[in-house]
Amino acid sequence: QVRLVESGGGSVQTGGSLRLSCAVSIYTSSTYCMAWFRQTPGKKRQGVATIDSNGRTMYADSVKGRFTASQDNAKKTLSLQMNSLKPEDTAMYYCAADRKLWLGCGIERDVDYYNFWGQGTQVTVSS
């Protein structure tokens, strides 16, 4: 069982930055696919960034060049640095983990294929 706890959300103006963190209860390096998703009311949760078992990252087109995902294995922490924020980045952000590496760890991996989720942290970007 993996427990995930997000933090770092808040309200910022357009162009601002936020850094989200996800505390992970176990060591997941090399054995889990880790990801950040976001969701707005009435819409399906969408992948924002993934980190595979080799530490490679992938991003949704909408955040490329602005968001950076990273993993500190010693601290068991997943992070998402978000720069140049836009109003359309407003959402609840979730971290996720899953051990089924044979399914791949690309950004296209669907929300239904992640077994462990945090409770989410709200990000609001005002214009």
- Per residue in 71-87, pLDDT (tens digit) is 998 889 999 999 999 99
pLDDT at 62 over 90: yes
Average pLDDT value for the chain: 95
Kindly state the average pLDDT of the residues 51-63.
94
Residue 94's pLDDT is what?
Answer: 98
Kindly report the three-state secondary structure assignment for every residue of the chain.
CCCEEEECCEEEECCCCEEEEEEECCCCCCCCEEEEEEECCCCCCEEEEEECCCCCEEECCCCCCCEEEEEECCCCEEEEEECCCCHHHCEEEEEEEECCHHHCCCCCCCHHHCCEECCCEEEEEEC
Percentage with pLDDT > 70 across the chain:
100
Residue 118's pLDDT is what?
Answer: 97
Q: Please write the tens of the pLDDT for every residue from 7-38.
A: 999 999 999 999 999 999 988 878 899 999 99
Residue 75's pLDDT is what?
Answer: 84
